[in-house]
Amino acid sequence: MAKDRKIDMVILGLLAHENLSGYDIKKRIDQSISFFWKGSFGSIYPSLSAMTREGLVEKVEDSERNGGREKINYAITSQGKEALRSWLEDSRAVNDMKYETLLKLFFGGVAEPQISINNINAFENEVRESLHILKFYQDNLSKVLNNPDHMYYYLTASFGVETYEAYLRWCTKARKMLEKENKK
Amino acid sequence: MAKDRKIDMVILGLLAHENLSGYDIKKRIDQSISFFWKGSFGSIYPSLSAMTREGLVEKVEDSERNGGREKINYAITSQGKEALRSWLEDSRAVNDMKYETLLKLFFGGVAEPQISINNINAFENEVRESLHILKFYQDNLSKVLNNPDHMYYYLTASFGVETYEAYLRWCTKARKMLEKENKK
DNA sequence: GTAATATGTATCAAAACGATATATCAAATT
DNA sequence: AATTTGATATATCGTTTTGATACATATTAC
């Protein structure tokens, strides 16, 4: 992977809006972008250390600490903002998928069709659930499109809705084909 | 990541059909499944060594060597077939996305809308190209559906076509919204 | 002839994952 | 009042994967 650290951009992007701790960053990732990007503590904390050393972020006082245990808050620096911008302005982007469901389906021929049907059903259930949540986000965001930031969030949510609905259409077609095969 | 090595299943799945070398495996991955799963030499060769040690695959003679340099061919063992099957029969699957395009869009608010339009255009061009190839595959596979294996390949190709077309529809909508914002 | 390209195996540093360790604090339970 | 539970919070470890590079042989092009 050598010399890239995409997690840096995730963190810088989030810090561009508000100061956050490593724990907060993880929460934001899980809540808002996890359907198209994930991040673990094992990459977040080392990235914060590295970026502090490199001057892209800096530690700030834990203001408004009303209870809860002490936390280390980070702020983006002007250098960090520059790094974020130049990444944004570079239209090259790597979109990397790992669909274990498709991997199993691709090799489905070594087992009975029913096995593949089960795998598709499990996938479909997960997708249905996530789609529900995504639609809820999309709906809420559609009401605050006057705020430019929210428009960007709305567009990513819409991407999710559009693709997840495509997944479900495919599930129906694929299952039909496999059930036909199963009856042979 | 600890204790999983998904690349093992990719290799076992491919070896279930024919004996292959590490180099061949890489080619098969790039040609057939790269739109939903990737694999590098840096994971393939260590996996082959580990699985040989564990008895899931074994080295076989390089039959039909008509020129070309010497290669190390591998075959799946009965133990390997068992491992492949029990993975297939487990309907739990992790589908993990890394859409750098969406990441950039999510943080689009820190730059001008034109930047995001450029990013979407770059994405759209890539998708259009891949869709072309996927449709070609799908078309060819639709003619040989009598072979059960080909049906599974057809279904994965169809998944790609369905989702890539959804991507393109979304691109058009997103661009429109951003162009409106750009004129403000 | 020789330069460029394709074939082939292998390893390395860096990045990311998922699990785990450790600790603090608030709320609920006993 | 003491204890357990669970949320908050930081950090690190072993494992997997990536992408780059090294190295060597065979084929094709000029």
Give the domain CATH number at A10: 1.10.10.10
End-to-end alpha carbon distance in chain B? 46
Which residue's CA is nearest to the C1' of nucleotide D17? B43
CA distance A54 to B145: 56
CA distance B94 to B59: 30
pTM: 0.95
Do residue B45 and residue B116 come from a single domain? no
Among the candidates A65, A89, A113, a domain finishes at: A89
Judging by DSSP bridges, how do beta strands B73-76 and B20-21 pair with one another?
antiparallel
Closest nucleotide to the alpha carbon of A96, via C1': D18
Pull the structure tokens for residue B82. Answer: 């068992």
- DSSP codes joined into one string, chain B: --S--THHHHHHHHHTTS-EEHHHHHHHIIIIITTT----HHHHHHHHHHHHHHTSEEEE--TT--SS----EEEE-HHHHHHHHHHHH-----EEEEEHHHHHHHTGGGS-HHHHHHHHHHHHHHHHHHHHHHHHHHHHHHTTTTSHHHHHHHHHHHHHHHHHHHHHHHHHHHHHHHHHHHT-
B150-162 pLDDT per residue, tens:
999 999 999 999 9
Do residue B65 and residue B19 come from a single domain? yes
* Buried b or exposed e, range B156-167, using 16+ CB within 10 angstroms: bbbbbbbbbbbb
Residue B134 lies in a domain: yes
B32-67 pLDDT per residue, tens:
999 999 999 999 999 999 999 999 999 997 766 666
A63 confidence band (pLDDT: 50, 70, 90): low
Beta-carbon separation of B37 and A177 below 8 A = no
Of residues B10, B88, B116, nearest to A115 (C-beta):
B88
d(CA B68, C1' D25) / Å: 8
The DSSP call for residue A68 is S
Residue B95 lies in a domain: no
A67 confidence band (pLDDT: 50, 70, 90): low
- The average pLDDT across A127-151 equals 95
Tally of residues, chain A: 184
End-to-end alpha carbon distance in chain A? 47
Do residue B83 and residue B17 come from a single domain? yes
Domain containing A119: what range?
100-182
Residues paired with residue B57 on neighbouring β-strands, in sequence order: B76
Residue B67 lies in a domain: yes
A73-109 pLDDT per residue, tens:
999 999 999 999 999 999 999 999 999 999 999 999 9
Residue A1 lies in a domain: no
Chain B environment of A111 (Cβ under 8 Å)? 85, 88-89
Give CA torsion, residues B84, B85, B86, B88, to 10 deg: 90
Domain count, chain B: 2
CA distance B129 to B140: 17
Q: Which amino acid is at A169?
A: R
pLDDT at A69: 77
Among the candidates A64, A89, A114, a domain finishes at: A89
